[in-house]
Structure 1
Amino acid sequence: MFAFQDFIKSARDGTLAVAAVLLFVASAYAQSDPLPSWNDTASKAAIVSFVEKVTGQGSPDFIPEPERVAVFDNDGTLWVEHPIYVQLAFALDRVKVLAPQHPEWKETQPFKAALEGDMKALAASGEKGLVELIMTTHAGMTSSDFQKIVTDWLASARDPKFKRPYTELVYQPMVELLAYFRANGFKTFIVSGGGIEFMRPWAEKVYGVPPEQVIGSSIKTEFRMQDDTPTLYRLPEVNFIDDKAGKPVGINQQIGRRPIAAFGNSDGDLEMLQWTTMAGAPARLGVLIHHTDAEHEYAYDRDTEVGRLDKALDAAAIAGWTVVDMKADWKHVFKD
């Protein structure tokens, strides 16, 4: 006769077997999901659907691999930009480092404001003051020297709110997205208003984007022989501003192909998304990252001077761009 204890053991073994199968299925699903930090929302579905359409053989929207170009803004799209842009934080620290050589800065704007941490006075100096600050702190050295300064600063600097290195404050869902696009035959480019030589030293390690696929603002450089060594010397003159209407120009100059997907987060990205998506067939994708998670990062859009999302947000509704709600669409913001 079938013993009662045998029945219990059989039932227990069956339960364990079912649990094991469910665990296996869940694990397999997690491994097959290329975007595990994204919630299963309409935003994720729209992105995945686009990738499947343009990469599927036989799809009416199929796009050959060489034409699969995706462009990503950096500040506020791939990493944190509040309360001030990371590159501005770098420039302010550089002012403090250089201040002993310039005692006149104690009474000269915008340097006085930078030394005193007076953001209101710094903002009042306007674009002219900010350009002067950048030119003074980013020029007068070789490109190699500047790269080392940036690398050393990023290794030691910490974000005032999160107390973590800035290179750890990259958005994990977007890092996954970059990898997902590359796994599907896309070339991924950073197209940022930030300095090109500020981003290039670390972009490949952090994002998997090599230096030649980074487009940004730049200052003029010239070739010089220094102690029989060929160098590129950074001059205190603006060369190119890769922001707003400058972004499509920079894309055209450095990529030579119109992207089929563009990701941004502010009005500074409006023209880039227009240039990418308003070209008709084949399929195009425009995505805006909307900062809505005050608990894990910041919440802002129309009423901010840093990363304002106003005109582009209105345009998204008309153009049919995907607006990613960070709080609703992402499981978490940063990598744990």
Structure 2
Amino acid sequence: MPTRRRLLVLLFALSVIDLAAAQPSTDPLQSWNDGAVKKSITDFVSRVTTEGAPDFVPVAERIATFDNDGTLWSEQPAYFQAAFAIDRVKAMAPQHPEWKKQQPFKALLDGDMKALAASGQRGMLQIVAAAHSGMTTDEFSKSVVEWISTARHPRFGRPYTQLVYQPMLELLAYLRANGFKTFVVSGGGVEFMRPWMEKVYGIPPEQVIGSSGVVKFEMGADGKPALRKTSKIEFVDDNQGKPVGINRFIGRRPIFAFGNSDGDLQMLQWTAAGKGARFMGIVHHTDAEREYAYDRQSKVGKLDKALNEGTAKGWTVVDMKQDWKTVFP
């Protein structure tokens, strides 16, 4: 073939490749690898949204609930709200000189992680309570937004809101495009989550359910009403609390639910117990290179009983390493 003709053929081939690459993908779940897991999602959505089909579900009943920590964003090496609370206590320390001698605050301020760990769950609850109480809800919301915009993850060096899972963002959008109403149902503090979730997940504050403390109405010195946070716990939205929270704040049983730990088991069981088509999903963290690999022995996001039950009952278990093309945006 003459050189000029070869060149023309080559240029034509390259132009076709460039044109194909420029076309937007029509796959709404393009960060999910093709396979049984992805197919289980698309098949379920097709079944419940096809009018006249046996499993059709009216739009008003298409409720989807998602855990947050470890399901929509990362949760290692510690829950991100715990990192927020620790940073808040450090910032507040000058106004609390008594903390220099009072545990677990002394351990935190001294950087004694062994002593802090020894204080256990009770010690962490004290730190969280100190970081969350005393402020008005508006002041607290502002402190969360400021922290989210400046804090960085210790391993990845990225803002915490950049450690959301790209495949799950696509899943949320896909469900909403098919008439689902998406809710976050998390053990995290509801007022910690609400300031940023709409921007990051597209989920408005009224569709965020979480643990909450007692809030009191008061009139400020300026004569304006305010809501002030106290250190008293009102509701814990974890384990058995998740179905209770769904019943209290949503009023409909989900037909679609996703979690990643034993703390989500009861939400998945509650979803599965309903009539008609049901989808129960579990994110299994198996990718130590791109994120983390952990399950049964982890102190954060332990996945043991839920994995056993999900496997036995045929729930969709996402193998992060195998099923996701990418993890973070």
Q: Decide whether aligned partners of structure 1 residues 11 and 142 sit closer, same or farther in structure 2, where only a CA change above 3 A counts.
A: closer
The equivalent of 1:176 in structure 2 is 170
1:94 alignment counterpart: 88
RMSD between aligned alpha carbons? 2.0
Which residue does 1:56 correspond to in 2? 50
1:254 to 249, 258, 263: 249
Mapped to 1, the partners of 2:137 and 2:14 lie a distance apart of 61
CA distance in 1, matches of 2:113, 2:74: 18
Q: 1:24 to 1:230 in 2, by over 3 A?
A: same
Q: Does 1:12 align with 2:13?
A: no
CA gap of 1:70–1:5, structure 2 versus 1, over 3 A, is: same
In the TM superposition, what whole-angstrom CA distance separates every residue of 1:57-78 from its partner, at most 9, and x where no partner exists? 1211110000000000000001
Q: 1:259-270 to 2 correspondence within 5 Å?
A: 259-270=254-265
- The match for 1:40 is 34
Residue in 2 aligned with 1:158?
A: 152
Q: CA deviation at 1:283?
A: 0.6
Letter in 1 for 2:271: T
Residue aligning to 2:181: 187
Q: Secondary structure of 2:300's match?
A: coil
Q: 1:238 to 1:48 in 2, by over 3 A?
A: same
When structure 1 is superposed on structure 2, of 124-133 and 180-189 the one drifting more is 124-133
Task: Please give the secondary structure, in 2, of the residue aligned with 1:31.
Answer: coil
- How far apart are the structure 1 equivalents of 2:148 and 2:32? 28
Classify 1:6/1:114 alpha carbon distance in 2 versus 1 (closer, same or farther; 3 Å): closer
Give the gaps of 5 or more residues in structure 2: none
How far is the alpha carbon of 1:102 from its aligned partner?
A: 1.7
Within 1, Cα distance between the matches of 2:47 and 2:80?
36
Q: Alpha carbons of 1:56 and 1:115: their partners in 2 closer, same or farther (altered >3 Å)?
A: same
What is the one-letter code of the residue matched to 2:255? I
- Tell me by how many angstroms 1:176 deviates: 0.6
Give the unaligned 5+ runs of structure 1.
none
The 1-side partners of 2:113 and 2:167 are apart by 31
In structure 2, C-alpha distance between the alignment counterparts of 1:135 and 1:6, rounded to whole Å: 76
Task: Tell me, in whole angstroms, the C-alpha distance in 1 between the residues paired with 2:13 and 2:147.
Answer: 53
Q: 2:219 aligns with which of 216, 225, 243?
A: 225
| Alignment partners' CA distance in 2, 1:332 and 1:139 | 38
For 1:180-214, what per-residue CA distance to the aligned partner results, in whole angstroms no more than 9, with x for missing partners?
00000000000000000000000000000000000
Report Cα offsets for 1:222-245 as digits up to 9, x if no partner.
111111111111111001000000
What is residue 197 of structure 2 aligned with on the other side?
Answer: 203
Helix, strand or coil: the match of 2:25? helix
Could you tell me how far apart the structure 1 residues matched to 2:55 and 2:115 are?
52
Q: Which moved more, 1:112-121 or 1:268-277?
A: 112-121
| Distance of 2:257 and 2:178 partners within structure 1 | 16
Residue 234 of structure 1 is aligned with which of 223, 229, 243? 229
Kindly tell me: are residues 286 and 117 of structure 1, through their superposed partners in 2, closer, same or farther at Cα, counting changes over 3 Å? Answer: farther
Alignment partners' CA distance in 2, 1:59 and 1:19: 44
Structure 1 contact 70–259 (Cα < 8 Å) conserved? yes
CA contact (8 A) 1:92 1:115 kept: no
Looking at structure 2, the residues matched to 211 and 297 of structure 1 have their Cα atoms a distance apart, in angstroms, of 28
Question: Given the alignment of the two structures, is residue 77 of structure 1 paired with residue 74 of structure 2, yes or no?
Answer: no
Give me the whole-angstrom Cα distance separating, in 1, the residues matched to 2:278 and 2:168.
19
How far 1:320 moved relative to its partner? Answer: 1.3
Distance 1:11 1:92 in 2: 64
How far off its partner does 1:127 sit? Answer: 2.7
Aligned-residue identity in percent:
60
